[in-house]
Structure 1
Amino acid sequence: MAEPIILAIPKGRILVETLPLLAAVGVVPEAAFSDESSRALRFATNRPDIGLIRVRAFDVATFVAHGAAQLGIVGSDVLDEFDYSELYAPVDLNIGHCRLSVAEPAELAEGDDPREWSHVRVATKYPNLTARHFAARGVQAECVKLNGAMEIAPVLGLSSRIVDLVSSGSTLKANGLVEVEVITQVSARLIVNRAAFKTRAAEIVPLVEAFRRTVAAKTGVRAA
């Protein structure tokens, strides 16, 4: 029997929205998968030919790009940051909606116009995406890489601005920051390792089509 297809699922904000989607395509994880206190990383499903791993969102793309997992679910922000040529993203899952934005202290924003920037120092988890965005505008960006706690960077003088995911904006507000520019809208995508898509097409293509049909049924629009 062939090794199971491994589907990489991100921890955090997308996970809750992913579970109903998995169920709709006929993949039901073992009970431990939904247990936040579980230290396990690999999980069985109701299908012996499909297993799951639960990893950090940024690691989903890496596992799939290098073939350790054949499919994954990850935000378009992660895809844009890493830009792996080994990844194919056939379906926009229409979940995990948020935006990647530039934010700065409210008092700075009062007299600030992003269109006049020539140089910015930014704390972000997305240095590549951020640098590309500002370069396209002719702005020199000095990116300070952080993996979290972005909102305190301006308060402590690490940077004057941040680039981070924004949903409701409540975290920014709680830290005295305001959103001043949207870089890109974000949603979760189904991703596939390109090599596996060719070598294990008989197993992977039906899964991709099941996700596509599920999204279409949910939205009334055929998934891209």
Structure 2
Amino acid sequence: MADQIIIAVPKGRILKEVLPLFEAVGIVPEAAFGDEDSRLLRFATNRPDIGLIRVRAFDVATFVAHGAAQIGIVGSDVLMEFDYSEIYAPIDLGIGHCRISVAEPVAMAATDDPREWSHVRVATKYPNITRRHFEARGVQAECVKLNGAMEIAPVLGLSSRIVDLVSTGRTLKDNGLAEVETIAEVSSRLIVNRAAFKTRAGDIVPLVEAFRQAVGGSDAASA
């Protein structure tokens, strides 16, 4: 349907945490949506006025910012990295908790003091967050942009440090790395296209309020 409200949801680990939220607001996706092996990108729901798309986390923000999707669920890390003015993020959904951290080889971390850094070379998919973080401390950051497999960069000499999302820390440990600094705590947010929030308020505002009730909070920002 051309007038459907499209909700963009990230692939990966957050999917299982999203499903109970949808149930709480009365949205039941088709069965394939919960199947991480499904190659489908667009999914129907029990509501003919609501459709879902499942894309990469960074792309969720892009779809919503450009109005291809009216609503999305995405980590605050993505919002920090791109800072789209077209996106309104009214609700912290309280899921997808993790952190953006600086990590380096364990042997280096044993004697290293981040307070003494003046220049760092960092592999990351968050160059904007990384530069802002280090610039605020007067540290020059040379960022090597990678889309994945950051943990291998120090081993192969691409960079001495990485900035990446960390949940349990197991991937870092398995690759001989240790966290030395936390840049930001991360959780998933409900995001809305600002223009759609105004022009389709009758459709979108009740949905936003339903999500707010589902998480039991009043977290909001001015549109």
- Range of TM-score over shorter length: over 0.9
> Is this contact kept in 1: 2:133–2:183, CA < 8 A?
yes
Alpha-carbon offset, residue 84 of structure 1:
0.3
> Is this contact kept in 2: 1:215–1:223, CA < 8 A?
no
Report 1:75-154 matches (<5 A): 75-154=75-154
Q: What is the match of residue 12 of structure 2?
A: 12
Q: Secondary structure at the match of 1:144?
A: strand
Q: Does residue 222 in structure 1 map to residue 190 in structure 2?
A: no
Alpha-carbon offset, residue 200 of structure 1:
0.2
> For residue 31 of structure 1, what is the amino acid of its counterpart?
A
User: Which is further off, 10-19 or 59-68?
Assistant: 10-19
Q: Secondary structure at the match of 2:14?
A: helix
Report 1:153-164 matches (<5 A): 153-164=153-164
CA offset digits 1:64-122 (Å, max 9, x no partner): 00000000000000000000000000000000000000000010011110011000000
What's the C-alpha RMSD, in Å, of the aligned pairs? 1.0
> Is this contact kept in 2: 1:123–1:161, CA < 8 A?
yes
Q: Secondary structure at the match of 2:16?
A: helix
Alpha-carbon offset, residue 2 of structure 1:
6.3
| Identical amino acids, percent of aligned pairs | 81
Q: What is the match of residue 69 of structure 1?
A: 69
Distance of 1:2 and 1:102 partners within structure 2? 44
Q: What is the match of residue 196 of structure 1?
A: 196
> Is this contact kept in 1: 2:12–2:36, CA < 8 A?
no
Distance of 1:155 and 1:173 partners within structure 2? 13
CA offset digits 1:154-185 (Å, max 9, x no partner): 00000000000111111111001000000000
> For residue 105 of structure 1, what is the amino acid of its counterpart?
P
Distance of 1:35 and 1:168 partners within structure 2? 23
> Is this contact kept in 1: 2:126–2:145, CA < 8 A?
yes
Q: What is the match of residue 165 of structure 1?
A: 165
Evaluate the alpha carbon distance shift between residue 122 and residue 207 of structure 1 in structure 2; reply closer, same or farther with a 3 A threshold. Answer: same
> For residue 105 of structure 2, what is the amino acid of its counterpart?
P
Q: Which runs of 4+ in 1 moved over 3 A?
A: 221-224
Alpha-carbon offset, residue 37 of structure 1:
2.2
> For residue 72 of structure 1, what is the amino acid of its counterpart?
G
> Is this contact kept in 2: 1:121–1:161, CA < 8 A?
yes
Q: What is the match of residue 42 of structure 1?
A: 42
Distance of 1:98 and 1:37 partners within structure 2? 24
Q: What is the match of residue 181 of structure 1?
A: 181
> For residue 27 of structure 1, what is the amino acid of its counterpart?
I
Alpha-carbon offset, residue 11 of structure 1:
0.1
Distance of 1:2 and 1:181 partners within structure 2? 46
Distance of 1:38 and 1:215 partners within structure 2? 28
Distance of 1:73 and 1:58 partners within structure 2? 11
Alpha-carbon offset, residue 58 of structure 1:
0.5
Q: What is the match of residue 24 of structure 1?
A: 24
Distance of 1:55 and 1:207 partners within structure 2? 21
> Is this contact kept in 2: 1:93–1:223, CA < 8 A?
no
Evaluate the alpha carbon distance shift between residue 2 and residue 206 of structure 1 in structure 2; reply closer, same or farther with a 3 A threshold. Answer: farther
